[in-house]
Amino acid sequence: MHAQRKLLKRLIANVGAALRHVRAIAEQFRGSDPWAALVRYVSERIAPGSGPQPPPTALAGDG
């Protein structure tokens, strides 16, 4: 139970840090979806590099 309490406190602190980060750069979000940016930020913090891959710049040819 004590370990779960520590984990929960750490998770809450991480969410707070994410919200502070979004608030600090909120002006850059004009015209975009701030919630999508928040989800991307949190996802990247939880599992770095697991986000969607950018589209390829060219299609692969047959050779």
Determine, yes or no, domain membership for 39: yes
If one counts the domains in the chain, the total is: 1
Q: Are 24 and 16 in contact (CB under 8 A)?
A: no
Range of 34's domain?
Answer: 2-45
Q: Convert the pLDDT of each residue in 29-57 to its tens digit.
A: 677 777 787 788 778 878 877 666 666 67
Residue pLDDT, tens place only, 3-14: 888 888 988 888
Query: Which tokens in the block code for residue 53?
Result: 């891959």
Residue 43's pLDDT is: 81
52 is a domain residue: no
Residues with Cβ < 8 Å from 43, sequence gap 6 or more? 50, 51
In a domain, 14, yes or no: yes
The pLDDT value given to residue 51: 63
Residue with tokens 């913090």: 45
Quick one: which of 10, 20, 22 has its CA closest to 46? 10
3-state secondary structure of 52: coil
Residue 28: per-residue pLDDT:
75
